[in-house]
Amino acid sequence: GKKASTCISENLHANDITKGLEFIGNLLINIAHTGNNEIKKNILIKIFETLLFFLPLKSDSTTSFSTSTANTSTDYKEQEKIVLNEPPSLFMIKTLFIKIYKEKECKNVEINDFNEFGHTFGQKLWNSRLDVNLKKSAIESPQTIQEYYNAFPEFLKNFFSGMIDELYEKKMSICNFQRKKHNKPPKVKISGQTIKIVTFITSMLLSLAFPHLKVWLPQVLASLSRMP
């Protein structure tokens, strides 16, 4: 026989989390306009303590809470231990939340057509040939790795550095979460890792786009592969 429809099969709860947050948000707005300051104070303290843990701040970011507001001075590595005695000031709330999420919003660029993005990126690389030719000597016969890296077009370095850094941060976050559960010290990013990867990827792209150039790294790798 025909299966009975349920709220799960009909996917009626798909937006429950979003709607739940919206409901709580509206409830908080209503509470904010009530006259009971003691209730508002306690709610603000608890909400601030909870949301502080989810702030998307880098691990090296630090801040101090005055003793009149919190029972300790701390950094964000210890932010889950913060217990407030008084509600945070409006200035603190704006500084920690509004600015951060506005910056994140500005960076949240959605790319829907990656094929088109690839064509645009390829065109920009092709148009960089004048800049590349001006730095031909450093690209073909660098005196140092840093000189070689510095000769690459800025947009290539920035693009791949951002991509690799993002992947490292995600992996490091998961790794350190597991290490923390086992009471192990956190791992830190090794200086220079990103530059090495970006140097390799960019070298291959430049060699592909401008075959007239004897790009240093591909030439070295090719010579090594021919060794007996």
How many folded domains does the chain comprise?
A: 2
Confidence of residue 4 (pLDDT cuts 50, 70, 90): low
Rg over alpha carbons for the chain, rounded to the nearest Å, is 26
On whether residue 8 sits in a domain, the answer given is no
Q: Are residues 92 and 118 in the same domain?
A: no
User: In this model, does residue 64 exceed pLDDT 50?
Assistant: no
Q: Are residues 22 and 125 in the same domain?
A: no
Q: Are residues 192 and 98 in the same domain?
A: no
Helices (H), the chain: 16-32, 37-52, 90-93, 99-107, 114-127, 129-134, 136-140, 145-150, 154-181, 193-209, 216-225
Q: Are residues 74 and 135 in the same domain?
A: no
The pLDDT tens digits of the residues spanning 163-218 come to: 999 898 888 888 888 888 888 888 887 778 899 999 999 999 999 999 999 999 98
Choose the final residue of a domain: 107, 127, 159: 107
Q: Are residues 88 and 151 in the same domain?
A: no
On whether residue 133 sits in a domain, the answer given is yes
User: In this model, does residue 99 exceed pLDDT 80?
Assistant: no
On whether residue 6 sits in a domain, the answer given is no
pLDDT for the residue 129: 92
Average pLDDT, the chain: 79
Instruction: Determine the structural domain holding residue 135 and report its residue range.
Output: 114-225
Residue 37 makes CB contacts below 8 A (sequence gap 6+) with: none
Distance between CA atoms of residues 201 and 184, nearest Å: 33
pLDDT for the residue 181: 84
Q: Are residues 37 and 75 in the same domain?
A: yes
What's the pTM value of the predicted model, to 2 decimals? 0.51
Q: Are residues 125 and 183 in the same domain?
A: yes
